[in-house]
Amino acid sequence: MATAVTTRQQQQRAAELNVIARKQRSLWKDALTRLLRNKAAIAGMIVILFAAFVAIFAEIRIDAIGLHFRLAPYDPVADQNTPKALMEPIWTQAFGSKYTDPAYIMGSDQLGRDILSRLMFGSRISLIVGFVPVAIVFVIGGTVGMLAGYVGGWVDNSLMRFTDIIYAFPDLLFVIIIVATLRGTAFGDILGGLLLIFVGIAIVGWVGLARLVRGQVLSLKHREFIEAARCIGATPTRIMLKHLFPNVLAPVIVSVAFAIPGAMLTEATLSFLGVGIRPPTPTWGAMINEGFVVFSSTPWPVLLPALCISIVLLAFTFVGDGLRDALDPRMKL
């Protein structure tokens, strides 16, 4: 008998929980519906998925099972060093170009390397640089901002002072100084300089996110639901993770969505200025930099990577715009 009552109670409770659970999800579900209705955001996502597909399957090599698959027509790094340098894309044949070769769909650069293959491999760097530093920024900026806002004290003070200093640097300038000066060190050599770029972007980037989270937490921490949680004896850690974190997530997601193209842009700019990832690793920014020498004789080695950067950056911005509109319809800009 007793068990039956418990069961009924449990059932009732489960039903209640279900209702609450559905209510909690509906905010995100709403946002998702709004996002999926946004045509520009959908187009952006398709472009990003396509870029990710190309980046992953540009080359897959797992020696253990003898798998070697390459979507890209050629190796992007080895100089072909044939007389077939500076070929133009095959479609230019229609406009009377004599310098085309069916082997090079999008032409070749001054070292005879296939542009299509280099573009495909370049998408890897761009996407990795888009996501990894932003993940670091999310973890560090989120944690520091949360602590500064909720606990306050010296964390808050040092965050604010540090932000004052960082804000006095134009952010790109700071990344350039970090990357350019530490390139020669052993640390700057790891992954061909990729790690240094991650760190450079993250060091500058986390401050903005920390400030954002801090501001949100400051405005939330005196609300009733936080006080209620404190009253029933929730630990500060629990309040921060279970109560504050979900509530600051929406603006954080928006900020992160815009940080991704920001990081990609920074990498492209660094590579363009010649302080990015070491050649011959293909990145779009570096391809522009290298191709600029021959720009007046053939524009394709520069135009094609420039086009790729533009399209992918726009795709990320459209998704970011869509996320912002979906998560906070009031926040129109």
Partner 1 sequence: MLRYVIRRLLLIIPTMFFVALITFSLAHLAPGSPFDKNPNRPLPEETIARLERYFGVDKPIPEQFVIYVGNLLRGDLGNSFVQRGRPVSEIIGQGIGVTAQLGVQALLLALAFSIPLGIISALKQNTPLDYFSLLIATIGTTIPGFVTAIFLIYIFGVSFHLLPFVGWGTWQHSIMPTFVLALGPGAFLTRITRASMLEAIRQDYVRTARSKGLREQSVIVGHALKNALIPVATIIGPATAGLITGSFIIESLFNVPGIGRFYVLSINGRDYPMIMSTTLLYAFIIMIANLTVDIVYGALDPRIKVS
Residues that bind partner 1 (CB under 8 A): 164-165, 167-173, 176-178, 180-185, 261, 265, 268-269, 272-275, 288, 295-296, 299, 302-303, 306, 309-310, 313-314, 317-318, 321, 332-333
CB of 268 to partner 1, least distance (A): 6
Give CA 117 to chain center in angstroms. Answer: 22
For residues 75 and 58, give the distance between their C-alpha atoms in angstroms, rounded to a whole number: 10
Whichever of 141 and 200 has its CB closer to partner 1, that residue is 200
Whichever of 137 and 275 has its CB closer to partner 1, that residue is 275
Whichever of 206 and 272 has its CB closer to partner 1, that residue is 272
Task: Please say whether the beta carbons of 150 and 218 come within 8 A.
Answer: no
Whichever of 28 and 50 has its CB closer to partner 1, that residue is 50
Sequence-separated (6 or more) residues with CB below 8 Å from residue 218? 149
**Residue 134, SS3 per DSSP:** helix
CB of 30 to partner 1, least distance (A): 22
For residues 179 and 290, give the distance between their C-alpha atoms in angstroms, rounded to a whole number: 19
CB of 133 to partner 1, least distance (A): 17
- What would the two tokens of residue 17 be? 């929980």
For residues 287 and 283, give the distance between their C-alpha atoms in angstroms, rounded to a whole number: 6
CB of 63 to partner 1, least distance (A): 35
For residues 9 and 3, give the distance between their C-alpha atoms in angstroms, rounded to a whole number: 10
Residues linked to residue 114 through DSSP beta bridges, in sequence order: 108
Whichever of 179 and 240 has its CB closer to partner 1, that residue is 179
CB of 278 to partner 1, least distance (A): 14
What is the number of alpha carbons within 13 Å of residue 51 lying toward its C-beta? 25
- What would the two tokens of residue 311 be? 């399209």
Sequence-separated (6 or more) residues with CB below 8 Å from residue 4? none
Whichever of 21 and 165 has its CB closer to partner 1, that residue is 165
CB of 237 to partner 1, least distance (A): 32
